[in-house]
Amino acid sequence: MSRYLISDHHFGHANIIEYCDRPFDSPGAMDSAMLDGHYETVPPDAVLVHLGDVAMDMQDGRETVERFDQLDGDLLIRGNHDVGLDPDDAPFPVVDATVLDHGDRTFYCTHRPEDVPEDWDGWVIHGHHHDNHPETFPFVAADARRVNVSAELLDYRPVRLAGLSALLDQCPSNERVRDAATAESEFAIDLR
């Protein structure tokens, strides 16, 4: 069973379009395009791990639940805009972080990379920074052993953990790769 990762959809959030220079005219167009990309990418039997900020849901969690159900999500790592969701009220697992293994790598998955425990010495997969700090938080920062799965860096479509791991196998330890499209082109890797 394939595992897919993404962060920071921000469904229904009008301000994110300008904040991250997203190529959409409205929240409705953005939401439709992201859902279409998701359905075209993620097989029905796959596991989706979402690294936070499904929606702009600071109130009661209803929008997060509705949108996560549309994604047929399996595990939500709560982001700073998912705070309205009480994990006890969610019909799916909601955690602050999780650890995933693939091959010989162990990944600490969290919304904000700043929340990684100081003693963690493996790879980190995170979101939160979108595409706003590409020098510090690109898609892959091999030198820092960090991967940013914010939606903008993935062309708004999840990536497979196996594809990501294959990319890291080829990526030099000092490499920084801006986004998923660049990674697929430069390393001839299928991340989807």
List the domain boundaries for the chain.
3-187
Rg (alpha carbons) of the chain, rounded to whole number: 15
Q: Tell me, what's the pLDDT at 26?
A: 97
User: What is the pLDDT at residue 59?
Assistant: 82
Locus of tokens 């801006």 = 178
pLDDT at 83: 86
Question: 141 — phi, psi (to 5°)?
Answer: -120, 85
The pTM score is: 0.97
Per-position pLDDT tens, the chain of length 192: 899 999 999 999 999 999 999 999 999 999 999 999 999 999 999 999 999 999 987 788 999 999 999 999 999 999 999 988 999 999 999 999 999 999 999 999 999 999 999 999 999 999 999 999 999 999 999 999 999 999 999 999 999 999 999 999 999 999 999 999 999 999 999 999
**pLDDT for the residue numbered 33:** 98
| CATH class, 3-187 region | alpha beta
